């Protein structure tokens, strides 16, 4: 358990973000008879609950996706969510179409602090409402439509009590249980491999230096082009991309004048490395003989050798 708590502290420090679980729900309505719904559950950036299109319900993506909840509690939650998803569709289809609605709800655990919950709703991709302090609050971007919807929703005290209980009680317990049940996978540490290359030249006299960082887990990583202890402000960070084995890949570049490349290095910080950062120095590629060149050289040497034998 101490090791797991140490992991949580490292993880929280490396990401500078609290640990969180969020349930994302998206519904698209083309007309009064067609609707598409999908939902997913996320532990930070890791998806642990997916959407079963056949059953129209959430499905486990990890053996520990449901944490330490009992079968009865899971069954009750599944029934509640199914009733919400299907009832939500029937109600919305009675209104104007087409439209798209999204919700993101969940909770966060801060190191050494109490948890906080959130529920945010969007309409046509723009902020629409939120649930705060036990009531529905319209977003300024939602205008009069959001105000009217919140006014009606706030009339249903029983619904507000259910939402409040799910956010303030059920979600933190679920998050704590998932973190405990999945600690062996969540606490996995895989060191990154780092190598350098040059990309397409940005222009005359310029170099595009590329630092490749691959095979690391967990996802949070810090990569920077450095000159000594000075971070290079022109460093460009690409998107974090998943590898097939569940580890991650990152590409970080720097555009510099060729004459200024000497002395630069790529520095990588990751939880698997502890305090031992990886530092790879840029070394200008020297021209290397190609295979064709080597074959030609060998041919010339052979001809010269045969010629010398004939002469002798």
pLDDT tens for 55-68 read: 778 899 999 999 99
Share of the chain above pLDDT 70, in %: 79
pLDDT (0 to 100) of residue 215:
96
In the predicted structure, residue 83 carries a pLDDT above the cut 50: yes
pLDDT (0 to 100) of residue 185:
87
In the predicted structure, residue 270 carries a pLDDT above the cut 50: yes
Query: Half-sphere exposure (CA, 13 Å, Cβ side) for 189?
Result: 15
pLDDT (0 to 100) of residue 1:
36
Instruction: Please tell me which of 105-114, 148-157, 259-268 the model is most confident about, judged by mean pLDDT.
Output: 259-268
222-238 average pLDDT score? 96
In the predicted structure, residue 10 carries a pLDDT above the cut 50: no
**Residue limits of CATH 2.60.40.10 in the chain:** 193-281
Average pLDDT over the chain, rounded to whole? 83
224-253 average pLDDT score? 95
pLDDT (0 to 100) of residue 309:
54
DSSP state string for the chain: -HHHHHHHHHHHHHHTS-EEEEEEEEEEESSSS-EEEEEEEEETTEEEEEEETTTTEEEESSTTTTTT--HHHHHHHHHHHHHHHHHHHHHHTTS-SSEEEEEEEEEEE-TTS--EEEEEEEETTEEEEEEETTEEEE-GGGHHHHHHHHHHHTT-HHHHHHHHHIIIIIHHHHHHHHHHHTHHHHT--BPPEEEEEE-S--STTEEEEEEEEEEEBSS--EEEEEETTEEPTT-EE---EE-TTS-EEEEEEEEEEGGG-TTEEEEEE-GGGTT--EEEE--PPPP---HHHHHHHHHHHHHHHHHHHHH-
In the predicted structure, residue 3 carries a pLDDT above the cut 60: no
pLDDT (0 to 100) of residue 217:
92
pTM above 0.75, yes or no: no
Q: How far apart are CA 145 and CA 267, in angstroms?
A: 51
CATH fold of the domain at 193-281: Immunoglobulin-like (2.60.40)
In the predicted structure, residue 112 carries a pLDDT above the cut 80: no
Q: How far apart are CA 245 and CA 251, in angstroms?
A: 18
pLDDT (0 to 100) of residue 56:
76
**Residue limits of CATH 3.30.500.10 in the chain:** 2-186
Asked which of 9-18, 79-88, 148-157 is least confident by mean pLDDT, the reply is: 9-18
pLDDT (0 to 100) of residue 94:
61
276-282 average pLDDT score? 97
Query: What is 2-186's CATH number?
Result: 3.30.500.10
Beta-sheet pairing, 241-242 with 135-138: unpaired
């Amino acid at each position: 358990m101490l090791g797991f708590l140490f992991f949580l502290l490292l993880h929280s420090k490396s990401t500078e973000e609290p640990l969180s679980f969020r349930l994302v729900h998206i519904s698209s309505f083309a007309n009064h008879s067609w609707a598409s719904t999908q939902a997913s559950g996320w532990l930070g950036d890791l998806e642990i609950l997916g959407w079963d299109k056949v059953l129209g319900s959430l499905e486990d993506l990890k053996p520990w996706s449901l944490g330490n909840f009992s079968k009865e509690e899971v069954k009750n939650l599944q029934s509640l969510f199914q009733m919400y998803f299907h009832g939500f569709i029937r109600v919305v289809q009675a209104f104007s179409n087409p439209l798209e609605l999204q919700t993101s709800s969940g909770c966060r655990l801060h190191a050494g602090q109490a948890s906080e919950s959130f529920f945010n709703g969007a309409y046509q991709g723009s902020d629409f409402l939120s649930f705060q302090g036990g009531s529905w609050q319209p977003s300024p971007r939602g205008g009069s439509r959001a105000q009217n919807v919140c006014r009606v929703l706030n009339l249903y005290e029983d619904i507000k009590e259910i939402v409040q209980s799910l956010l303030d009680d059920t979600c933190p317990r679920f998050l704590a249980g998932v973190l405990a049940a999945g600690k062996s996978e969540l606490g996995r540490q895989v060191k990154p491999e780092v190598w350098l290359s040059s990309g397409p030249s940005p222009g005359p006299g310029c170099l595009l230096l590329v630092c490749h960082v691959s095979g690391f887990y967990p996802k949070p990583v810090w990569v920077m082009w450095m000159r000594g202890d000075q971070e290079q402000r022109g460093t460009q960070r690409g998107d974090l991309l998943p590898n097939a084995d569940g580890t991650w890949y990152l590409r970080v570049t720097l555009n510099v004048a060729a004459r200024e490349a000497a002395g630069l290095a790529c520095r990588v910080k990751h939880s698997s490395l502890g305090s031992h950062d990886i530092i790879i120095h840029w070394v200008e590629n020297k021209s290397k003989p190609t295979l064709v060149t080597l074959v030609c050289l060998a041919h010339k040497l052979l001809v010269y050798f045969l010629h010398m034998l004939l002469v002798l």
